[in-house]
Chain A
Amino acid sequence: MMKQKHRKKEPLFRISKNGFVPLYKAWAIRIGALLLALVVCAFIIYSITKLNPLKVYGTMFQGAFGTNKRMWVTIRDTMMLLCIGLGLAPAFKMRFWNIGAEGQVLVGGIASAACMIYLRGKMSATAVLPIMFVCSMLAGAIWGFIPGYFKAKYGTNETLFTLMMNYIAIQLTSYFVALWENPYGSNTVGIINSRDKFGWFPPIFGQMYGLNVIIVLVLVVLIYVYLNYTKQGFEISVVGDSENTARYCGIDVKRVIIRTMIISGAICGIAGFLAVAGAGHTISVSTAGGRGFTTIIVAWMAKFNSFVMVLFSSLLVFLEKGAMEIASRYQLSDYVSNMIIGIILFFILGSEFFINFKVRLRQRFTKDKSQ
């Protein structure tokens, strides 16, 4: 009896860190999670709407790929999300929590819109695009540099700092919207240069969004190479793992932080350029549209691998387009579709836990038998 009293109560679940998980197994878990999410959503869809869930999923697919135009809009938005994700990857890999992509995209967008408005008639339509590209990149880089500098120099909290920078960027955008509003008093800029399309991406192979795809895919390769095969990329991962180790190796941590944030901001600035010149041809506080936050999921789930990011950004955009179509087709409020997105993301994010950790149920009788 005494012995039993001393026996420690075993928890119901035992969680231990998984060692090496083979790639196929990790992906099997992820896909399993996705399927499970779809099943759970099916129950919810049916209980709320009494619609056939399979039909609803079919509608989602149509929403994203139903027509040629829709497919290109899906591709365009995927590229946009991917571009911001590529911007976040270096910062996050360095364990620098850049929550400020939203603002970095916006200032990039403002720079592009300013070029479209003020340079019109002063140069040719092809010459202005590289200028817009550089201006947006610089604007984003400055927006990234500021929190990077303060973190390196004064050790400020980058999460709060970058977050605050978003609000400044949003206010700045409101200011420019009021400055450029068209018509006066409407509080919207409207489509910029809708007649001569000055500063718009030219169609490539007849595709309006062809250039978006080319620019972002080039960035995908560049970032992949930069993070995996360059000295600077190596420095980023060392700083991310341990600043002390980095210092011990003789890496100038401050320099790496500032440099990486400039790069991160610059790529987000390019995303702003894509949003204004290559997609919306306007500027508003919703030009970034919360993508700066959504992409954090993309960057993390892909573990900063830019090729895997293509996959996750496609998935997120697909879900978004599909959910919108459900809301429109079945006259549901878009809250229902957001619920579906939420559930699917919850399962996919949750699956990472099961990849990284082993969960075992308490085994009741093992000890008793040994006694």
Chain B
Amino acid sequence: MKKLFTVLFVLVFTLTVVAFNAEAAAEDFKLGVILVHDENSGYDMAHIDGVKGAQEKLGLTDDQIIFKYNIPETEACYDNAVDLAEQGCDLIISDSYGHQSYMMQAAAEYPDVIFLAATGDTAWKEPMENVANFFPHTYESRYVSGIVAGMKLKELLDSGKITDPYVGYVGAYPYAEVVSGYTAFFLGIRSIVPDAHMDVQYTNSWYDPKAEGEAANALISRGCVIIGQHADSTGAPSAIQAAKDSGKIVYSVGYNISMLAVAPTAALTSAQNRWAALYTPIIEKAMKGEAIPKDFSVGYANDAVQIAPLGPEVAEGTQEAVDAAIAGIIDGSLNVFDTDNFTVKGEKITSFLALDTDGDWTGDTGEAIEDGIFYESKLISAPYFSLRIDGITELTNE
């Protein structure tokens, strides 16, 4: 009896100590977040929501999370990453692509701290263990938002209100993340309206409400009737709503946040990322001291992407088409970048090397196409679909 009691006592004591330690580790955990803008930018707001969502799930207190707002993609990012590390952060996250090289620099100096660069694409080739990249399958929600746009386009064509299925897109910079996004959007549209064509106008900024509005107006004057965007402000939807109010037929498909607040009748939907679905497992792993995968990317199947509530003027049957597409993406029967569905310079693509090892920014390894399907965000988390497919024209400013 006495022995049993002793054993029990030791057992209880040990468990208490273990539990206490685990709790202490969680209490000591500190997270630093570097944001390129603040809550005024839809993209950054989505990240803030994601972090807060993870915070709630994991029971972190406000004191355990340090936000740094408006950190440009310059040496300021390095300074702030170092500062967060010095403040005792165990995990530091940056949300913009251009932050990456500064994060890597800081990571080299603080090997005990984990540096996560969202949308980044170099962690896989870094010898350092404490760096990682992550990005959701945004191309999936872009495709679905393209279906919403395609349904509207079809309705406009059928009713004779328009004759040319002309789509526009306001893009930030001409690189893979943007290209992958607009191509997925376009393929979504073309799954409904096969002869649709699209122009892309770049703003050369992630967040520039004025330039995005101007780009939207330029596309409207060219005759575009639906305008998508990969830029972080509400500039384009606002301009589109103004044009629609003045009698033009034009609709907006946004990004990051629902655009219904700024474009109550013109907004059809928005492609959205649910960063919490990525942040929660990553932060949880970091809190437990487990290894974090160098690349982490999930999509509809893990609830990491979605589209915003449909606007009042979407075409009939849109919800059904959307649900069918989402179901197809989840069960794998629908592949966004099926090479049967697009051509480059009139030819079907059979091979694409996605990864670059020699630093010239063109792929030299990593075959992305398997069985006729281009698998996006599979080799690394960051999008690498950078093919310019037929039917899309990139406009240049000059």
Q: Identify the A interface with B (CB < 8 A).
A: 67, 69-70, 73, 182-188, 190-191, 194, 279-282, 284, 286-287, 327-329, 331, 333-334
Q: Complex: how many Å from CA A73 to CA B175?
A: 34
Does B75 lie within 8 Å of A282, measured CB to CB?
yes
Closest CB in chain B relative to A333 CB, distance in Å: 7
Residue from the list A69, A187, A280, A327 in contact with B69, Cβ < 8 A: A327
On chain B, the residues within 8 Å of A73 by CB distance are 79, 82-83
Q: Sort chain B's interface into a size bin.
A: 20 to 34
Does B98 lie within 8 Å of A188, measured CB to CB?
yes
Chain B residue nearest to A334 in the complex (CB): B70
On chain B, the residues within 8 Å of A287 by CB distance are 74
Against A, the Cβ 8 Å flags (1 = close, 0 = not) of B25-41 are 00000000000001000
B174: Cβ under 8 A from any A Cβ: yes
On chain B, the residues within 8 Å of A279 by CB distance are 75
Determine which residue in B98, B174, B175, B361 has the highest number of CB atoms from chain A within 10 A of its CB, and name it. B98
Q: Complex: how many Å from CA A301 to CA B174?
A: 46
Using a CB-CB cutoff of 8 Å, which residues 87-115 of chain B contact chain A?
A: 87, 97-98, 100-102, 104-105
Given A67-B86, A183-B175: A286 and B101 interface contact (C-beta under 8 Å): no
Given A69-B82, A279-B75, A333-B38: A194 and B173 interface contact (C-beta under 8 Å): no
21 contacts between A and B (CB under 8 A): A67-B86, A69-B86, A185-B174, A186-B173, A186-B175, A187-B173, A187-B204, A188-B73, A188-B98, A190-B100, A191-B75, A191-B102, A194-B105, A279-B75, A281-B75, A282-B74, A287-B74, A327-B69, A328-B66, A328-B69, A329-B66
Residue from the list A185, A331, A333 in contact with B175, Cβ < 8 A: A185
Determine which residue in A182, A191, A287 has the highest number of CB atoms from chain B within 10 A of its CB, and name it. A191
B67: Cβ under 8 A from any A Cβ: yes
On chain A, the residues within 8 Å of B67 by CB distance are 328, 331
Residue from the list B38, B82, B101, B361 in contact with A191, Cβ < 8 A: B101
Given A70-B86, A191-B105: A186 and B75 interface contact (C-beta under 8 Å): no
Does B101 lie within 8 Å of A190, measured CB to CB?
yes
B244: Cβ under 8 A from any A Cβ: no
On chain B, the residues within 8 Å of A67 by CB distance are 86-87
Does B38 lie within 8 Å of A70, measured CB to CB?
no
Closest CB in chain B relative to A80 CB, distance in Å: 11
Given A70-B86, A185-B174, A328-B67: A280 and B101 interface contact (C-beta under 8 Å): no
Using a CB-CB cutoff of 8 Å, which residues 45-79 of chain B contact chain A?
A: 66-70, 72-76, 78-79
Does A286 lie within 8 Å of B74, measured CB to CB?
yes
On chain A, the residues within 8 Å of B75 by CB distance are 191, 279-282
Q: Complex: how many Å from CA A191 to CA B100?
A: 10
Given A280-B74, A334-B69: A182 and B204 interface contact (C-beta under 8 Å): no
Q: Complex: how many Å from CA A43 to CA B78?
A: 34
Given A69-B86, A73-B79: A184 and B361 interface contact (C-beta under 8 Å): yes
Chain A residue nearest to B386 in the complex (CB): A185
Does A328 lie within 8 Å of B68, measured CB to CB?
yes
On chain B, the residues within 8 Å of A182 by CB distance are 101
On chain B, the residues within 8 Å of A194 by CB distance are 101, 104-105
Q: Complex: how many Å from CA A67 to CA B110?
A: 15
In addition to A67-B87, A70-B86, A280-B78, 7 A-B residue pairs with Cβ atoms within 8 Å of each other are A184-B361, A188-B74, A194-B101, A279-B75, A286-B74, A333-B69, A334-B69
Q: Complex: how many Å from CA A287 to CA B72?
A: 11
Closest CB in chain A relative to B41 CB, distance in Å: 13
